[in-house]
Chains A and B, each alone.
Chain A
Amino acid sequence: GIQVEQSPPDLILQEGANSTLRCNFSDSVNNLQWFHQNPWGQLINLFYIPSGTKQNGRLSATTVATERYSLLYISSSQTTDSGVYFCAVEDMDSNYQLIWGAGTKLIIKP
């Protein structure tokens, strides 16, 4: 099955800084999603982005499907951006289940 690797595993930044999170996947995918999990455990979908670039406010994401990676950009970080960011891809060999990376834990210091 597909392997999903996220980097870095941990990231500590000052408020206002920019950051780039990376997701590598080992095989072709039809679907890639980015999620944010807040410190209380709530998961929110950020982007559904199998290819191309999308932007939503201070967040943007780019997926280069041919090179099997996706990037999540966070600009002008705020303390509310803290939490864990997950990348999940669809595994066509496993009845289209989502396969999750281990996440990047982001801490934004005031």
Chain B
Amino acid sequence: DGGITQSPKYLFRKEGQNVTLSCEQNLNHDAMYWYRQDPGQGLRLIYYSQIVNDFQKGDIAEGYSVSREKKESFPLTVTSAQKNPTAFYLCASSHKGNSRFQETQYFGPGTRLLVL
């Protein structure tokens, strides 16, 4: 079935540790996104990529890094510089990355990151 997968479902991070969240899509979408959601809040954009080998910072990129080496994959690394990483992380994709307008976004099931 087509869709977006995220792994792991739960992730625990120790102080000073970098961790990587996986996001894969088989929808043949050009654009991919990473969002952070804190309890009771809406989504905030961390990074997005409209095409392979290119990505842009969102509103809260500090302490995070991404790569887009393949169209299907957009992994997010939460670095030790991110001092408050506990949150729900959602990956999304949409069809036309270079379109002037946003297309409908499709979301993965999310990863919950907790700091030990």
Give A residues with C-beta under 8 Å from B: 4, 30-31, 33, 35, 40-45, 48, 86, 88, 90, 95-98, 100-103
Residue among A30, A41, A98 making CB contact with B105, cutoff 8 Å: A98
Return the chain A residue nearest B103 by Cβ. A48
Digit string of B8-29 for contact with A (CB within 8 Å is 1, else 0)? Answer: 0000000000000000000000
Name 16 interchain pairs, CB-CB below 8 A, sorted by A.
A30-B101, A31-B102, A33-B102, A40-B109, A41-B109, A42-B110, A43-B107, A44-B107, A45-B107, A90-B101, A96-B101, A97-B58, A98-B45, A100-B43, A101-B42, A103-B41
- Given A4-B42, A96-B101; 19 other pairs, CB 8 A cutoff: A30-B101, A31-B101, A31-B102, A33-B105, A41-B90, A42-B107, A43-B90, A45-B104, A45-B105, A45-B106, A45-B107, A48-B103, A90-B101, A97-B58, A97-B102, A98-B45, A98-B102, A101-B42, A102-B40
Q: In the complex, what's the smallest C-beta–C-beta distance from B64 to chain A, in angstroms?
A: 16
Tier of interface size on chain B? 20 to 34
Contacts of A35 in B (CB 8 A): 107
Contacts of A44 in B (CB 8 A): 107
Contacts of B90 in A (CB 8 A): 41, 43
Give B residues with C-beta under 8 Å from A: 40-45, 48, 56, 58-59, 88, 90, 92, 100-107, 109-110, 112
Contacts of B88 in A (CB 8 A): 41
Say what secondary structure dominates the interface of chain A. strand
Residues B45 and A48 in contact, CB atoms below 8 Å apart: no
Residues A100 and B105 in contact, CB atoms below 8 Å apart: no
Q: In the complex, what's the smallest C-beta–C-beta distance from B110 to chain A, in angstroms?
A: 5
Complex-state Cα separation, A105 to B61, whole angstroms? 27
Return the chain A residue nearest B99 by Cβ. A96
Q: In the complex, what's the smallest C-beta–C-beta distance from B107 to chain A, in angstroms?
A: 4
Return the chain B residue nearest A47 by Cβ. B104
